[in-house]
Amino acid sequence: MSIAGPTPRSSRPPRLVLLTGLDLRAYRGGEKYAANLARQLAARGIQVLLYSKVDRFERLRLTDAELPATVGVPFAFYRLFWLPRLPPLPLEPRRFLATLRGADTIFSLESTPRFVVLIVVLGRLLGRRTVVGLHDPTQVDRLAREVAEPGPGRWRARLFCLALRHAAAVHTINAAQAATLRRAGVPDNVAMVHSFTTAEPVPRAARSSGGFELLFVGPLEREQKGIDLLVEVGRQLLRARADLRLTIVGAGRDIGLVEGLVREGAGRVRYRGFVPETELAGIYAEADALLLPSRAESFSLVALEAFTQGVPVVSFDLPGLADVMSVYPEGRAPAFDPAACTTRVLALYDLRAREPAAYERLRAQCRERAIERFGARVQVPKLAEMLGLPLP
């Protein structure tokens, strides 16, 4: 049986099927990346169809206010791929296959190995360009480690690498991950294109009082985001400066650690919970510095969003953060050293207190570098080229 191809490109706009999990409540880079990319490509004339884990039983509902009308979520099917055994076909397989067949490019940001293998195989059978995004901060390192170690994990990792080599491109968002993939045996089709910012700088609100405003934005969890390290650095800073305040934005399972710090802070630590994406730019702009105590990152859109609003970022010196922290390299502290992280924040405190003009120049520099290096106008055309989607 022959499989009909898509309508000739000359008579219609380019089409992209974007496969991802989408939970905008979590401030997770992958979800925000998918939503931002869908908006940007749709605004440039690409037809985007987005499949996600979101379904009618979840609280989040995607509306035209959050995504353009050209982006849809026809049905959810990913949960089938979380089963411990080999996955069955997706729900409504004919509709799913018809969607893939009508695309020019399939871009999978859902990167579990068995799902990637399925999508690469389907893409090859249908003759569609298939791009796999490996954006998880630990997956690439784990893959490289398993390829090198003896045991059953080695063969699974090698089979995964073999599937990746049959994709049109394997997308990473930082140089360290790209180098690790090449060492793991996926050398030819690795494409590194950075994440991008779509935010516009907003005016900074007038302060009703003095002091130094430190900010954290992200999921409240230890394993990746280092909430326990945030609490330790916060305690040190509260002891060091009486007029320093910390605002924490986010939600997650380790909220108990944050609640404890709020009690200890005696009014100087404010927990705002989850804040809608549309309000984040103003919150960034009010801060004097952003604290990013992560144990692992693949890029950090939070850091980029802060830089875009002219907010210096203090983080641990991690390979995945090297690219975005090039905007303000002085903010990097030795990995997982709370005392060194505290020292970096206090350096910004002292600069703002003693040389306010120099501090304002630093804010302007952060803003300009972020937009110049990682603005959507710079990065989105690179992504379109990687996806094989000519921009009209």
Q: Residue 86 pLDDT more than 70?
A: no
pLDDT of the residue at 81: 37
- Binned at pLDDT 50, 70 and 90, residue 134 comes out as very high
Alpha-carbon distance 108 to 170, whole Å?
10
Average pLDDT, stretch 297-324? 96
pLDDT of the residue at 77: 41
Q: Residue 141 pLDDT more than 80?
A: yes
Q: How many CB atoms lie within 10 A of CB 185?
A: 16
pLDDT of the residue at 137: 84
List Cβ neighbours of 162 (8 Å cut-off, separation of 6 or more).
none
Alpha-carbon distance 97 to 95, whole Å?
5
Q: Choose between 12 and 311: higher pLDDT.
A: 311
Q: Residue 63 pLDDT more than 80?
A: no
- Binned at pLDDT 50, 70 and 90, residue 53 comes out as low
Q: Choose between 153 and 383: higher pLDDT.
A: 383
Q: Residue 38 pLDDT more than 60?
A: yes
pLDDT of the residue at 277: 79
pLDDT of the residue at 367: 97
Confirm whether pTM is higher than 0.85.
Answer: yes
Q: Residue 229 pLDDT more than 70?
A: yes
pLDDT of the residue at 251: 87
Average pLDDT, stretch 62-80? 40
Q: Residue 54 pLDDT more than 80?
A: no
pLDDT of the residue at 105: 97
Cβ atoms of 111 and 88 within 8 Å: the answer is no
**Three-state SS annotation for the chain:** CCCCCCCCHHHCCCEEEEECCCCCCCCCHHHHHHHHHHHHHHHCCCEEEEECCCCCCCCCCCCCCCCCCCCCCCCCCHHHHHCCCCCCCCCCHHHHHHHHHCCCEEEECCCCHHHHHHHHHHHHHHCCEEEEECCCCCHHHHHHHHHHCCCHHHHHHHHHHHHHHCCCEEEECCHHHHHHHHHHCCCCCEEECCCCECCCCCCCCCCCCCCEEEEEECCCCCCCCCHHHHHHHHHHHHHHCCCEEEEEECCCCCHHHHHHHHHHHCCCEEEEECCCHHHHHHHHHHCCEEEECCCCCCCCHHHHHHHHCCCCEEEECCHHHCCHHHHCHHHEECCCCHHHHHHHHHHHHHHHHHCHHHHHHHHHHHHHHHHHHHEHHHHHHHHHHHHCCCCC
pLDDT of the residue at 115: 82
CA of 92: how far to CAs of 60, 85, 109, 340, in Å?
23, 20, 21, 54
Least confident of 68-72, 247-251, 363-367: 68-72
Cβ atoms of 224 and 250 within 8 Å: the answer is no
Least confident of 110-119, 348-357, 366-375: 110-119
- Binned at pLDDT 50, 70 and 90, residue 93 comes out as low
- Binned at pLDDT 50, 70 and 90, residue 209 comes out as low
Which structural domains are found in the chain, ordered by start?
9-196+376-387 (3.40.50.2000), 212-374 (3.40.50.2000)
CA of 123: how far to CAs of 101, 106, 262, in Å?
8, 7, 50
Looking up tokens 């055309």 gives: 381
Average pLDDT, stretch 46-64? 54
pLDDT of the residue at 111: 82
Average pLDDT, stretch 19-27? 58
